[in-house]
Amino acid sequence: MATDTLTTLSSLLPNKVVTAEYLRLLADRNGALIRHPAFVYGGDGRGLGHVQISMRALGLDGYRILQSRAPGTLIAPRALDFDDFTCPVGPYSKAYEFDDLSRAVLEGLINPTILARDAMKATSNTLVSLAAQLVGGFANTSGTPGSALTAAQLLEAKAQLGIRSVEGPYVAVLSGVQFLHFEQSLATGTAGAIQWLPATAAMIGQYGDGFKGNWGGVDIFVSNRVPTTNGGVDHAGGVFGRGALIWANSSFAPEGDPNIVDFGATDDSGRNPVRFERSRTGLAGKTAYVTHANLGIIEGIDEAGEAIITKATV
């Protein structure tokens, strides 16, 4: 009598079984942040003849008030106040390459449809990662470096924007740690004097998982792409209104090639054209799937933002 075990039957069994469902490795996937109206879209550079897109800021609509004058005297004309912000656009790309055998074996897991979806999400996440580098770069700051962010400090930052007549709506982009400190501060202080409005499912559907809610008129987003500063011990988030950050992109000239697909503005931002192309190396039996986008973002009106620099550790 013999008893078979997994060891004796090992040659009959597969090495392992892979489920159809897959997990997503951890990453910040909040590409819809750019939809927020505080971000100013500079435009699509295609056909404009330059890789730099300029946006002008004009001192009109009541920017300068009238001056009194003595009766019968002439009023001296004054120069129009204006500023100009130039946003260059540059290429961003990503590629995966597979040989024919791996593509055949992994057909259910890795295929052009899945890679195209990744292309769109990666494009919007790229723009958010660029924006996150800038939110802590305004000349005016709130928060206490080395200490936890408090609700009072976020209120102070919002008040400073109001004092400078910054156009709303306001948005705060904080790191996960900063948001934790803010929530802890809400929980232990303020006694609900200003109500925290958590994000509804509809808002999350529009602005992504990073949108946490609204407090005191400030929409709060969390992005773990907010950089560190001060020797790596603080996070540099920020709160800003319209005009603080200006971004631009460029769509692609049509190629008429069936291996090149230009998805219109279908990434999470709702604005970025994404080029997804298949590049074949027949002699080696390999196929590459390449994603291209043309993006750029700059600081606009510096006074329209307030950096929030606080402790980076829990």
Partner 1 sequence: MAKRQRQDDAPEEPQPQPSTDVATGLSLADLGVSDGLAQVNAPRIREPRPGFVFLFHPERWFVSHGLVVPQLKRLVLQNALNGVRQGENGRFSISTALADQAKRGWQALDPLVDGKASYVYRAAEGVYLSRWETAHAGSSTVTGDGKGYAEWLRGLVDTGKIPRPAPYVLEQLRDRLEGRARRLQDQVRTVPSVQVDLDAALVALSAVEHELAGGPNPTPIPKGAANPLPLE
Binding site for partner 1 (CB under 8 A): 27, 86-92, 129-130, 133-134, 136-137, 139, 141, 144-148, 152, 188-189, 225, 227-234, 236, 295-299, 302, 307, 309, 312
Q: Quickly count: other Cβ atoms within 10 Å of residue 130's Cβ.
A: 18
State in angstroms the smallest separation of the CB of 264 from partner 1: 21
- Judged by CB, which is closer to partner 1: 272, or 287? 272
- Judged by CB, which is closer to partner 1: 172, or 236? 236
- Judged by CB, which is closer to partner 1: 84, or 107? 84
Identify the CA nearest to 224 among candidates 135, 293, 292, 151.
Answer: 135
Which residues make Cβ contacts (< 8 Å) with residue 310, sequence separation at least 6? 143, 144, 145, 146, 147, 148, 149, 153, 178, 181, 234, 235, 237
- Judged by CB, which is closer to partner 1: 141, or 266? 141
State in angstroms the smallest separation of the CB of 101 from partner 1: 26
State in angstroms the smallest separation of the CB of 9 from partner 1: 20
Identify the CA nearest to 208 among candidates 35, 25, 37.
Answer: 35
- Judged by CB, which is closer to partner 1: 6, or 202? 6
Quote the CA–CA distance of 57 and 244 in Å, as a whole number: 11
Question: Interhelix angle for 151-163 vs 176-188, to 10°?
Answer: 100
Quote the CA–CA distance of 260 and 278 in Å, as a whole number: 6
- Judged by CB, which is closer to partner 1: 126, or 214? 126
- Judged by CB, which is closer to partner 1: 212, or 225? 225
State in angstroms the smallest separation of the CB of 90 from partner 1: 3
Quote the CA–CA distance of 261 and 264 in Å, as a whole number: 9
State in angstroms the smallest separation of the CB of 276 from partner 1: 20
- Do residues 43 and 133 lie in contact, with contact meaning Cβ atoms separated by under 8 Å? no
State in angstroms the smallest separation of the CB of 112 from partner 1: 25
Quote the CA–CA distance of 119 and 291 in Å, as a whole number: 6
- Do residues 54 and 245 lie in contact, with contact meaning Cβ atoms separated by under 8 Å? no
State in angstroms the smallest separation of the CB of 188 from partner 1: 6
